[in-house]
């Protein structure tokens, strides 16, 4: 069980079940048995439309490749989840600007992704994940395309969001240094959890080997 406000890293070799696990908790796939409660809601037997609706309301996704629309500004990229939720235009813009400001992207609102650094693009992606006030963020190798310095900045940002806003963070990573930013590390092998360990506090962290 992952509790509200936790920061959990998921680790394991390729084919170990990490992606399946993330797809299930991200409401992209359904488990074959058992029950899955997301923010207190049983999603185990929802149909595709119901899953899409709850996914957009409850989950923010952050990917290794950023997954931004290339010919669309940072502001418009962040507005997308609100557009899918039929939020009026004025409110969409207000919330998207606030999310970008939280991520330190003032002055970059009208830049397209190719006008932004890798770290800035990932910040836009995180702002997009935050804009719906989702209680859960799923981050799949969010530092995989970033250099060490930028990786530290992104991880420190995720830690701050987790601590200050009580957002549940679930992070998939192959990098032990990245996993240590979490408070808990779950390891998979062959579709099974083989360890579930608490990590030392992240306050005052962190150094990484380059």
Domain ranges, ordered by start, for the chain: 7-198
If pLDDT is split at 50, 70 and 90, which confidence band does 206 have? very low
Q: What's the CA gap between 172 and 125, in Å, rounded? A: 16
Give the Cβ contact number of residue 23 at 10 Å.
14
Q: How confident is the model at residue 208 (pLDDT cuts 50, 70, 90)?
A: very low
- What does the pLDDT look like over 14-50, one tens digit per residue? 889 898 899 999 999 888 888 899 988 899 889 989 9
Q: What is the dihedral of CA 48, 52, 58, 61, to 10 degrees?
A: 120
Q: Which is higher by pLDDT, 60 or 203?
A: 60
CA-based Rg of the chain, rounded to a whole angstrom? 17
Tell me which fold the domain 7-198 belongs to: Rossmann fold (3.40.50)
For 78-131, the pLDDT digits (tens) are 999 998 888 899 999 999 999 999 999 999 999 999 999 999 999 999 999 999
The pTM of the full predicted model, rounded to 2 decimals, is 0.87
Neighbours of 117 (CB within 10 A): 12
């Amino acid at each position: 069980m992952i509790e509200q406000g936790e920061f959990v890293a998921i680790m394991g070799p390729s084919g170990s079940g990490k992606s399946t696990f993330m797809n299930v908790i991200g409401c992209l796939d359904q488990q074959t048995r058992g029950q899955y409660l997301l923010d207190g809601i049983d999603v185990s037997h929802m149909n595709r439309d119901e899953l899409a609706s709850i996914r957009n309301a409850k989950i923010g996704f952050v990917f290794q490749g950023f997954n931004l629309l290339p010919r669309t500004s940072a502001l418009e990229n962040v507005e997308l989840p609100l557009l899918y939720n039929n939020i009026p235009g004025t409110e969409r813009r207000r919330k998207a600007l606030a999310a970008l400001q939280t991520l330190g992207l003032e002055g970059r609102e009208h830049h397209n992704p190719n006008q932004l650094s890798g770290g800035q693009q990932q910040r836009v992606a995180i702002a997009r994940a935050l804009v719906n006030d989702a209680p859960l963020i799923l981050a799949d190798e969010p530092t995989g395309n970033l250099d060490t310095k930028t990786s530290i900045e992104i991880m420190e940002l995720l830690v701050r969001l987790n601590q200050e806003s009580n957002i549940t963070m679930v992070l998939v990573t192959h990098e032990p240094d990245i996993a240590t930013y979490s408070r808990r590390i779950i390891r998979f092998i062959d579709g099974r959890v083989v360890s579930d360990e608490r990590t030392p506090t992240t306050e005052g962290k962190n150094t990484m080997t380059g």
